Chains A and B, each alone.
Chain A
Amino acid sequence: MSEVVIVDSGVANLASIAGAFRRLGTTAVITADPVVVRDASRLVLPGVGAFGAGIAALRAKGLDDAIREATVRGTPLLGVCLGMQLLCEASEESPGVTGLGVIEGTCRRLPDTVRIPHLGWNSIRVDRGATFLTRGVAAFANSYALRESPRGWTAAWSTHGVSFIAALERDATLVCQFHPELSGAYGAALLERWLTGRSATTEPAPTDVPGLTRRLIPCPTYKTAG
């Protein structure tokens, strides 16, 4: 498998995503060098935090142009969580800030009728024609999301108060509002399909109940030397 280049904008927590690729037997290079990003054979754009801060961090290092150039030349790209949002045109979170514009649309705040942030595992349903994406349950941590399917992409959906875009794919590019690196076996299989280009063996979607599931959280007990 080819190596992946993970964009280090300084605002993301990279340990989980790098660990996920290493677990799949792939070399993960973490870089903030625009030249390395532009020439990557596979590119990963992670991110947590606010939209405005994320764009500012990319611009400060010249990474915004490098990412756009890579997408123009067709480099397989994975965007995760804020990384997906940064690829859109804008976000209600940071009005007036221009996104990378690779994906048409503006991210909107999830409605006030539900708990925000949207934390935990939610059902994924997928439009016809997807290669990488399958139905399942994935781990989210977001307050903003795209609500409409942009032209030219195949969409996966979740529901939290409203239907929103859980993920999009087009050619070799996959962007996920959820965290595939934190989504157990479902996420690992998705990352592997993105890496290898193998398509999912899809079955007819059953009528999954939409919405967040209730979480059960074990707390390992141990004593520290400190």
Chain B
Amino acid sequence: MKGVRFQNLRDAGDPAEQAARYEAQGADEIVILDVAASAAGRATQVETVRAVRAAIRIPLTVGGGVRTVEDARQLLAAGADKISVNTAAVEQPALLGELAQAFGCQCVVLAIDARRIGEAKRWEVLVRGGREAALQDAVAWAREGERLGAGEILLTSWDRDGTRAGHDVELLRAVADAVRVPVIASGGVGTRDHVASAFAAGADAVLAASVFHDGDDTVDGIKADLAVRGIRVRR
């Protein structure tokens, strides 16, 4: 079930319309990961960002194929508030510092796709949409990314992504303990229990796609449940 998010891409409708609906439900932020972004796709990506920005009044993070400060600048000019980098940061770590220098570290999100190695509490870093193992230690990479200029970590468990089996809470706890910047947990949300467990493990935020897109749950529904559990959310 690896990489379900990336392999099951479907034409899922208008992202601006979805984003506006999520804001109305109480979403705290929107993340758009354009996994198909390339030099040729950049213009399309910029148009999408512009449309989503016009539709929402909450922070917007954009990622997908960002390789240079200039790529980031284009997306910020179109209305992104934060830029997420993944493969490019692994291949040229100095990019994190360059982005932080240009836009501030609060603007720089390091996305890490982590896959568990064997049974031990060890995770490797995958790049190129999960097709390639790049680094041996995801926790060390999170710490290094913070040192280089990342202001937030978007942590995806490759083992859980798309499975709806819950987050890899051991991974989440290991990274949340290793860094001082906020950590967004991604990959595996299927139930309200999963969201609450991610926060209990130290996540500052939880990202989910399919559970909302498929209509299995709503942002306000999950937030109401979190509030009942004593977890503070904006409502």
Do these two chains really belong together in a complex? Answer: yes
Do the beta carbons of A213 and B28 come within 8 Å of each other? yes
> Which chain B residues in 117-174 approach chain A with CB under 8 Å?
151-152
| CB of B3 to closest CB in A, whole Å | 14
| CB of B119 to closest CB in A, whole Å | 30
- Residue of chain A at shortest CB distance from B73: A13
Do the beta carbons of A226 and B12 come within 8 Å of each other? no
CA gap between A224 and B14 in the complex, in Å: 10
Residues of B contacting A126 with CB < 8 Å?
none
Do the beta carbons of A119 and B152 come within 8 Å of each other? yes
* With A15-B79, A115-B181, A226-B36: A217-B31 Cβ-Cβ less than 8 Å: yes
| CB of A97 to closest CB in B, whole Å | 15
CA gap between A113 and B209 in the complex, in Å: 32
A2 is an interface residue with CB less than 8 A from chain B: no
Residues of A contacting B199 with CB < 8 Å?
214
CA gap between A82 and B107 in the complex, in Å: 13
* With A16-B81, A223-B9: A214-B59 Cβ-Cβ less than 8 Å: no
Interface residues on A, range: 35 or more
Interface of B, secondary structure class, is: mixed
Residues of A contacting B234 with CB < 8 Å?
121, 137, 213
Residue of B52, B204, B226 with most chain A CB atoms under a 10 A cut-off: B204
Residues of B contacting A182 with CB < 8 Å?
57-59, 81
CA gap between A213 and B104 in the complex, in Å: 22
| CB of B37 to closest CB in A, whole Å | 6
Residues of B contacting A116 with CB < 8 Å?
180-181
Residues of A contacting B14 with CB < 8 Å?
222
> Which chain A residues in 185-226 approach chain B with CB under 8 Å?
185, 187-188, 209, 211-226
Do the beta carbons of A220 and B213 come within 8 Å of each other? yes
- Kindly identify which residue among B27, B31, B36, B205 contacts A224, using a CB–CB cutoff of 8 Å: B36
A181 is an interface residue with CB less than 8 A from chain B: yes
Do the beta carbons of A216 and B222 come within 8 Å of each other? yes
| CB of B136 to closest CB in A, whole Å | 26
CA gap between A112 and B181 in the complex, in Å: 11
9 closest pairs, A vs B, by CB?
A: A226-B41, A215-B205, A15-B79, A49-B104, A220-B18, A215-B28, A220-B15, A141-B106, A219-B209
Given contacts A49-B107, A219-B30, 6 further A-B contacts (CB under 8 A): A117-B151, A209-B232, A213-B233, A220-B52, A222-B14, A224-B41
For this complex, 29 residue pairs linking A to B, each with C-beta atoms less than 8 Å apart, are A16-B79, A49-B104, A49-B107, A115-B204, A117-B151, A119-B106, A139-B59, A183-B57, A183-B58, A211-B232, A212-B204, A213-B232, A214-B203, A214-B205, A214-B206, A215-B28, A215-B206, A216-B27, A217-B28, A217-B29, A218-B208, A219-B31, A220-B209, A221-B12, A222-B11, A222-B48, A223-B10, A225-B41, A226-B36
Chain B residues with CB under 8 Å of chain A are: 5, 9-15, 18-19, 22-23, 26-34, 36-38, 40-45, 48, 50, 52-54, 57-61, 76-82, 101-107, 151-152, 180-182, 184, 186, 195, 199, 203-210, 212-213, 219, 222-223, 226, 231-234
